[in-house]
Structure 1
Amino acid sequence: MSRINRRFAVTKVTRGEGANAGKILTDTRADIVTVEEPLEIRAGGTTLTTTMRTPGHDIELAHGWLYAEGLISTVDDVTTARYCAGSQNPEGTNTYNLLDIDLATSAKPVTPDFIRLTPTTSACGVCGTQSISELLHKVPAAISPIALDPELVMSLPERLAAEQQQFRKTGGIHAAGAFDLDGNPIVVREDIGRHNAADKVIGHLLLDGRLPATDMILVMSSRASFELVQKAAMAGFPALVAVSAASSLAVELAREAGMALAGFTRADRFNLYAGELI
C-alpha cells in the first residue's frame, strides 16, 4: 500500500446537462486521496513538534524545520536522524511517524523557546510559537536582493505544476520548488502542508550543501503566508513566488528582509508585493 495516497469509495455528485438537465446525478467510484499523518520530531528524546504531513522525505523535512527554527545552521549540526522503534500503530507495525534527531554540540541547545507545545497542522507553520517577534529575530539581517524578470515569474507556476505528480493524482496536496534564475527546477517536494513542502525543499538543499539559496527562487503552489516568507528568508532565498495571495505580515516581512515577493501568479499576470522588476 502506498504511504502517500490511499483509495476510498466516494460518490461523485453532478448537475445533469442536456437530456439530464435539472437532475442531480450520482456515481460511486474509487478516488485517490492524499495521506495525512503526524510526524513527531524529537531532539535527543525531547519532543520539539508534531506536524501533520504527507509521509516521504521526512529527513529533509526535519532538517528544513530545524534550520528554519534556527536550531541548526549547517548539516554537520545533525549527527543522526532515525525513526524510533516506538513509532507504531495499534497493530504493532512501524508507521515511521516518530523521528529522533541527535544534535551535535555545535547546534543551539534545545531550550523551551524551540518547543511547540501544540501540534502543527497541515495549514499552519507557526502554531504554538510564543510570539511573531521571536521569529523576526531569527531572520538573517542581509539577503542579496534580485530584480525579477516578469516573463520568468509568470512561467514558474506552470513549471512547478509540471513536477507535481501527486497533485495530478489527488488534487489535494501542496508543492514547493527551488528554481534557478533561469527557471530550471532544482528540487520540488509535495506535502499536504505547504510549510512542510517548503521545509522538505530547504532540508534537501541543506543536505546537498546548497544553502544559502542566494541564486534561487522559492515557488509555492499556495498562498504566501508569514511563515513561508520567514522560512525562505532563513534559507537565503532572494525571492518567493506564490500562486495565491500574500498576507499583510508576509508582505511586511519580505520588505523588511529585502526579499522579492510575488503572489496571484499566473501565466499572464502576478502581483508584486515586494522587490523590483528588471
Structure 2
Amino acid sequence: MDSITPISGQSSTGEQSRASVKVSVQKVKGLNSFPAEEFLAVEEPLEIQLVHGPSNARAMKSISVTMRTPGDDFELAAGFLMTEGVVRDINDVERITYAPESMASAPESDAWQQSALPYQPRLNKVRVELSPEVEVSLANLERNFYTTSSCGICGKASLLALQTVCPARIRNSFAINANILYTLPSRLRESQSVFDRTGGLHGAGLFNADGKLLAMREDVGRHNAVDKLLGSEFLADRTPLRHALLLLSGRASFELLQKALMGGVFMVASVGAPSSLAVQVAREFDIILVGFLRDDHFNIYHGAEHIKGKTAV
C-alpha cells in the first residue's frame, strides 16, 4: 500500500481551479439586463480502469465512466470500488495512478483556446491496480453490480443483493443529541468552498456524535460526493465508519444508503427526502435514517431511540 499516492484532485496543484470555471452571462432583474460573470461547477467524465488477476496474467478493463467535478479522483475511484463490493480492505489495492495515456496534452486550436467552457481531457482516467489475490467478478462489474433507484429491478432483489456482500453488521450503538443534529447542515454548507462560488454542487460530510466535521467532499453528482468521501476514509484505513454520521446535502436514495451500508456507516441524515427503498434499506440493516433535516425540524424514518434530547408530545 505504500505505493498508493494519496493525490486528490482538489489538493493537487491547479486542480482546485479545475473545479469551477468563470463564464460571461446576461443577468436579468425585472426587465433590466446587464452583463456579468458567474462561476460554474465543472463537469467532466472520469474513466475508472481496473487492473486485476494473478501476477502472470494481469488484465485491464474499463469498468465505469462517471461525470464528476475534477478533484479527489483517487478517492472517488477507491470509494466506488469499495461501495460496489469490489474491494473490502485497503490491502486489496496495490496502486492508484492516472492512466499514462491520459497525461498527453490535448491538441489545441484557436477555437479550443477561445472556448468559454474549456474541456480538459488530461487527468480524466484513473487506473486502480488490485492485489493479485483479489478475485473480480467481471459479470457483476458489467451490470454495475447493483441497480440504481432509477432502474427497473425490484426492491426485494436489491435488498437481497446487499445482504450477500455487505460488511458484517454489529449492534448499532451510535447516538446523537437532536440539538447537535440541527447544527450539522449549516456546518456542512460552510465547508463547501466550491459551492460558494458556483451554487451547483452536492456535499457529503462525516460528523461524529459531538457534531465535529470529520471530512467533507463535494461534486456535481450526489453519488460521486459520497464515493469521494468514503474513498478518502477507505484509503486512510478508517472503514468501517461506525463512529460517524453521513450527512447528505440533497435527498437520500437507495444508492446512497447502499454506499453508507458498504462503508459501515450507522447513521445517515439528509437535507432532502429519502426514497421508499432507502427507508427499506435503513430498516433492514439498522441504519438510523433522518430526512428533511432543517433548522427546526426533521423526520426520523428509522432509529428514533438513537436520537436523544427530544420530547414526545
TM-score, structure 1 normalization: 0.88
- Percent identity between the two aligned chains: 38
How has the CA–CA distance of structure 1 residues 106 and 214 changed in structure 2, closer, same or farther, with 3 Å as cutoff?
farther
1:91 is matched with which residue?
107
Q: Does residue 109 of structure 1 match 2:120?
A: no
SS of corresponding position for 1:63: helix
Which one is further off, 126-135 or 266-275? 126-135
Equivalent of 2:171, from 144, 157, 167? 144
Q: Within 2, Cα distance between the matches of 1:54 and 1:239?
A: 26
Answer whether contact 2:176 2:210 (CA < 8 A) is retained: no
How has the CA–CA distance of structure 1 residues 96 and 116 changed in structure 2, closer, same or farther, with 3 Å as cutoff?
farther
Which one is further off, 108-117 or 226-235? 108-117
Work out the number of aligned pairs and report it: 264
The one-letter code of the counterpart of 2:99 is C
Equivalent of 2:50, from 43, 49, 59? 43
In structure 2, stretches of 5+ residues that fail to align are 1-13, 52-59, 109-119, 309-313
The one-letter code of the counterpart of 1:4 is A
The one-letter code of the counterpart of 1:3 is R
Q: CA deviation at 1:273?
A: 1.1
Answer whether contact 1:263 1:273 (CA < 8 A) is retained: yes
Q: Within 2, Cα distance between the matches of 1:125 and 1:174?
A: 18
Q: CA deviation at 1:94?
A: 5.6
Q: How big is each residue's C-alpha offset from its partner over 1:30-57, in whole Å with a ceiling of 9 and x where there is no partner?
A: 1100000000101012011111100111
SS of corresponding position for 1:109: coil
Alignment RMSD: 2.2
2:219 is matched with which residue?
191
Q: CA deviation at 1:143?
A: 4.6
Answer whether contact 2:149 2:253 (CA < 8 A) is retained: no
Q: Within 2, Cα distance between the matches of 1:218 and 1:153?
A: 11
Q: Within 1, Cα distance between the matches of 2:105 and 2:28?
A: 34
Q: Within 1, Cα distance between the matches of 2:20 and 2:142?
A: 30
Q: CA deviation at 1:116?
A: 5.0
Q: CA deviation at 1:115?
A: 2.6
Q: CA deviation at 1:58?
A: 0.5
1:209 is matched with which residue?
237
Equivalent of 1:177, from 205, 213, 238? 205
1:268 is matched with which residue?
296
Answer whether contact 1:212 1:236 (CA < 8 A) is retained: yes
2:76 is matched with which residue?
61
TM-score, structure 2 normalization: 0.79
In structure 1, stretches of 5+ residues that fail to align are 16-23, 118-123
2:268 is matched with which residue?
240
Answer whether contact 2:41 2:201 (CA < 8 A) is retained: yes
The one-letter code of the counterpart of 2:24 is A
| Structure with more helix by fraction | 2
